[in-house]
Amino acid sequence: MKTAEKLLKKVEGGTVLTPKGFQAGGIHAGLRYSKKDVGLLMSESPAAAAAVYTQNHFQAAPLKVTQESIQHSGKIQAIIVNSAIANACTGEQGLKDAYEMRRLVAKRLDLVEEHVAVASTGVIGEFLQMDKIAHGIEQVEVSNGLEGAKSFQEAILTTDTFQKSACYELEVGGKTVTIGGAAKGSGMIHPNMATMLGFVTTDANIDSTLLHKTLKEITNESFNQITVDGDTSTNDMVLVLANGMADHEPLTEGHPDFEQFKEGLKAVCVDLAKQIARDGEGATKLVEVNVTGAQTKEEANIIAKKIVGSSLVKTAVYGRDGNWGRIVAAVGYSDAKVEPDQVSIYIGPYLMFQNGLPQSFSEELVTEYLAKETVTITVHLNNGTEKGKAWGCDLTYDYVKINASYRT
């Protein structure tokens, strides 16, 4: 019997437009100096929709409008996104502007208004330049090719240094199902569902209720397990559209290929999440933390995220310093159940700490390992059977430079 992992295939060069029936584009509307700043993603037909949102109390206006749209029928056909301005902490005017973005897209594409989702990213506390956004909505062209995907991906970026996309395919009922995604995020990243936006498309046939349940579970093992700087944005959102164009029997939890679909959706979300972590503002390294032997998966995830989020661990990685004491400290203040005399810690392949005691190691070899672009830290709690992962990046001088002058 084939496993889900073996049936799952990464589509090299695949994008958010690789699944059947999706188009996208982006345009420079003038919100930013020169780069594209208004993006449009759409499905040929209304798609089952699911989303998770920031838990920040100051939730931005676009998220409120998108929640209302999805609650209307569980269907979304188009997503309008702007960068440069977050439309957060903008009161009634901000909400009015988000509704106006929805209305303008619905009018141009002849859609039901509630079939349009809205997203914004950028500076908090500034009002949208609606004349420029209206012009962008009117002029943006969409296509289903690579250029359309790249154009959309550029339009959603802020301080990101590269575009983020992922695509996987699998089989459901003998039919090929594709799941693609695009995301942005570089700073203010500590999702709790920063500024982080994720858009996932699939031609799978699944209803909105089950899609939402599945996305929520997967988010806790992907986007919610990354951190760059510990700051949760006002605008975080991950939105999934499933238009059913793969033409298979509807997925249910009892369907023999449901777990396969779930693994595919998780693969896309983890892939995008790792790219966001790698692109942390000023970062030079992706840091992955693996925790095994925990009593619960939740505790394993908590410890992993505490370690990867520690400023002291992050600066040690940047400085190529095998200071395992900082890792021990992060494990110890994690609020998870830990037996200190049972814990082992590795930096890459090198054992640093075992059963509550330091171990001899080569400083030279560890320093050499920490120079790599991807650094793995492993913690064995030896206190249970559950495991967890988290991803982050190192903390550099450039992070301070970028954020000290973000508005100027």
What amino acid positions are annotated as catalytic residues? 195
Closest CA to 181 of 163, 194, 193: 163
DSSP 231: P
Q: Give Cβ neighbours of residue 344 (< 8 Å, ≥ 6 apart).
A: 351, 353, 354, 355, 379, 380, 382
CA distance 221 to 225: 6
CA distance 233 to 284: 22
Closest CA to 62 of 31, 100, 35: 100
237: β partners:
53, 197
287-321 b/e (C-beta count within 10 Å ≥ 16 → b): bbbbbbbbeebebbbbbbbbbbbbeebbebbbebe
Q: Give Cβ neighbours of residue 6 (< 8 Å, ≥ 6 apart).
A: none
